Every structure is written in structure tokens, then in C-alpha cells.
């Protein structure tokens, strides 16, 4: 066995790869010639900016091939699913006319484009796709509204989720106006973790606002301050009354939406929290798993939006579109 100069055995590498498979490296920024800008402009960028341009151009070149592979894979899965439906192993997917309108309204406020980084823009767009998917396939649906998409979110939707214009307006409605232009201030209740108020029920006469923001807790009181400036009511979800969370009380926009939809369906906050919030965010007892709160005398915590561990938005949008065509 090979030994080092110190007489110790070398530490084996933790990197794993298939035997007899050559490891190939992608192009380096040092010898890369961009197509989206001039070489002089590219050379003036920082190294990190060059890497960003490189990754984007490589994705643009390979995205078609990647999507075709994903579509082929999903086609196989759909055929397998249809076979399982025929055998009675899984229930059939719901059609639009099989869903029941709940009468509740939720609006996602997208007026935070300039507050997010590019990766967060991708994440919030992905979360909107998931909100639509939840509303499209549950036993009940809510009236889901999206306020005006600003520059980067609009560009992201037009490029990666272009078929969103074909989604049924009964399940998601995109507006070209801001929050107060869609509903009057007297009907709105802004959901924010910083609010001292706590909701116990959802009123069909009210419209509940979720801030369309991924900020990793950079902006304190942002949504509460906005609600107060607009003169609208505000409240937080009663998470602390029902469950204890091991990590910070931060969940994604689509998870907030799923919690609201689940509560509309079941009328049970505890069940909604436990079924939607990832188990890793709960305190664990000796036996593991979620820990429900037995004594709700303490102050309840609210929720804020955080980033998701997302795949490409385009892949998720394709998946939604494939499910649309299969029902």
C-alpha cells in the first residue's frame, strides 16, 4: 500500500464515480467565448459574473435536450400511473368539474421583485407553480389571485413557464394591477409573522394576502409595514398553538398556501400544519417525528416565506402541463 512521506496511509478520496468512466470538465471562463455579449464586455466582468453568464448559456444550449429526456421519463410514469388506476391501486386524478369551489379567496402579493436576488426570483416563480398545482388537484379549490408580475418575475414566467397563460382562470388569475387595485382595503387581511393578531378561522368575506417574497429573513417587518401603510388588517397563522418547530418559524409561500387550502378542506389547523410543514422543521421527541403543542398558553409564532430546495422552474411547469393534459 502506498504511504506518505510521514509514514501514514493516505486518506481515501470521498469522491465517487463510475469505474472506467472518464471524468470530463466543462468549459472554463478563461477560454469561453460568449454568444450573448461581446468578448470585450465579457472580459470586463468579474470572475463570478463570467461564471454566471457561462452557466446560463450552457443551460440555454442544453435545456431542450434536458426537457425532452424529462418528458420521456414522465411519459413512462404516466403510463404506469394509468395502469395502476385501472388496477384500482391508486385513485384517478380529479377533473376540473370534480373539484368543489370553497368560496375562499387568497391573493399573492408580487410587489417585491426588487427585494430578491436572481435565485430567489426563480424560487418564488417555482412556488407560484406549486400553488397553482395544489389549487388545481385538491378536492376543493380557492379563488387564487396573483398581483402584477414585475420585471424579473414576468421575464421568468414568459421564458420558463410560458404556458401559464393557458391555465384556467378559475384556478389561478393573473392581474396586471397591484394589490389595492384588485380588492378594496376593507376586504384584505395581510398574513405576516410580525403581526400581533392571530387568526382562528378563515372568513369567506375576506381576502387573505400572502407576500410573494423569498428573503431569507433579511427584511424585518416588511409585510407588516406594508399592510399598515395600506391601512389593511393583518394577522399571523396560529402555528405556535398547535405545533413546536425545531428551526426558525419560516416556511415557503407555497406551503403557506397549502396550509390555508388544507384548513379550508378540513377545518383543522393542527392537521393542516402537520401535513404540510416538513418534518425536519418540527421539534422531535425521543421517538422522533413531529411534536404537537399540548399547552397553547404561550405566544404563537407566525410564518414568513423562505427559499425552496427547488428544481428548475421549467421542469416543474412542464410537469404541471403534463398533468393538465392527462386529466
- Summarised one tens digit per residue, pLDDT across range 244-292 is 776 555 689 999 999 999 999 999 999 999 999 887 776 544 344 445 5
Distance CA 228, CA 131 (A): 26
What pLDDT band is residue 314 in, cutting at 50, 70 and 90?
very low
Q: Cβ contacts of residue 50 below 8 Å, gap of 6+?
A: 29, 32, 42
Contact criterion met (CB below 8 Å) for 105 and 207? yes
Percent of the chain with pLDDT over 70: 77
In Å, how far from its chain's centre is CA 265? 21
Cell numbers that stand for 213 in this block: 417574497
What confidence score (pLDDT) does residue 62 get?
A: 87
What pLDDT band is residue 313 in, cutting at 50, 70 and 90?
very low
Q: 118-123: long-range contacts at Cβ-Cβ below 8 A with a sequence spacing of 24 or more?
A: 118/152, 119/307, 120/214, 120/215, 120/216, 120/307, 121/152, 121/153, 121/156, 122/156, 122/310, 122/313, 123/214, 123/307, 123/308, 123/310
Give tens-digit pLDDT for 42-99. Answer: 889 999 999 999 988 888 888 888 888 888 998 999 899 889 888 888 777 778 888 9
Q: Cβ contacts of residue 257 below 8 Å, gap of 6+?
A: 106, 108, 131, 134, 135, 144, 210
Q: What is the mean pLDDT of the chain?
A: 81
What confidence score (pLDDT) does residue 23 get?
A: 55
Stated pTM of the model: 0.70
Kindly list the catalytic residues: 215
What confidence score (pLDDT) does residue 78 get?
A: 87
Give tens-digit pLDDT for 208-221. Answer: 999 999 977 788 88
- Residue written as cell 388545481? 136
Residue count of the chain, please give it: 327
More confident residue, 235 or 321: 235
Cell numbers that stand for 75 in this block: 411519459
Contact criterion met (CB below 8 Å) for 152 and 179? no
Res 223 pLDDT > 90: yes
Give, in order, the Cα–Cα distances in Å from 295 to each of 12, 101, 241, 242: 51, 35, 7, 9
Amino acid at each position: 500500500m502506498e504511504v506518505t512521506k510521514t509514514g501514514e496511509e493516505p486518506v481515501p478520496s470521498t469522491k465517487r464515480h463510475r469505474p472506467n468512466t472518464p471524468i470530463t470538465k466543462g468549459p472554463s471562463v478563461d477560454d469561453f467565448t460568449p454568444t450573448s455579449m461581446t468578448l470585450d464586455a465579457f472580459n470586463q466582468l468579474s470572475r463570478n459574473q463570467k461564471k454566471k453568464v457561462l452557466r446560463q448559456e450552457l443551460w440555454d444550449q442544453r435545456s431542450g435536450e434536458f426537457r425532452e429526456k424529462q418528458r420521456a421519463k414522465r411519459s413512462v410514469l404516466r403510463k404506469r400511473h394509468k395502469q395502476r388506476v385501472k388496477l384500482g391501486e391508486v385513485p384517478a386524478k380529479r377533473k376540473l368539474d370534480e373539484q368543489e369551489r370553497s368560496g375562499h379567496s387568497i391573493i399573492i402579493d408580487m410587489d417585491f421583485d426588487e427585494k430578491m436576488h436572481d435565485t430567489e426570483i426563480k424560487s418564488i416563480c417555482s412556488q407560484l407553480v406549486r400553488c397553482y398545482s395544489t389549487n388545481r388537484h385538491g378536492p376543493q379549490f380557492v379563488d387564487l389571485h396573483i398581483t402584477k408580475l414585475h420585471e424579473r418575475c414576468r421575464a421568468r414566467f414568459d421564458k420558463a413557464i410560458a404556458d401559464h397563460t393557458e391555465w384556467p382562470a378559475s384556478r389561478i388569475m393573473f392581474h396586471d394591477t397591484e394589490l389595492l387595485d384588485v380588492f378594496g382595503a376593507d376586504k384584505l387581511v395581510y398574513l405576516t409573522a410580525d403581526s400581533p393578531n392571530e387568526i382562528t378561522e378563515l372568513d369567506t368575506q375576506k381576502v387573505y394576502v400572502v407576500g410573494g417574497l423569498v428573503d431569507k429573513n433579511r427584511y424585518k417587518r416588511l409585510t407588516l409595514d406594508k399592510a399598515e401603510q395600506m391601512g389593511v388588517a393583518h394577522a399571523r397563522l396560529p402555528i405556535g398553538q398547535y405545533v413546536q418547530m425545531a428551526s426558525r418559524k419560516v416556511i415557503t409561500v407555497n406551503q403557506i398556501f397549502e396550509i390555508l387550502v388544507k384548513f379550508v378542506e378540513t377545518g383543522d389547523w393542527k392537521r393542516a400544519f402537520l401535513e404540510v410543514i416538513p418534518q425536519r422543521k418540527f421539534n422531535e421527541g425521543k421517538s422522533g417525528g413531529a411534536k404537537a403543542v399540548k399547552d397553547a398558553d404561550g405566544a404563537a409564532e407566525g410564518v414568513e416565506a423562505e427559499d425552496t430546495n427547488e428544481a428548475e422552474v421549467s421542469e416543474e411547469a412542464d410537469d404541471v402541463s403534463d398533468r393538465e393534459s392527462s386529466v
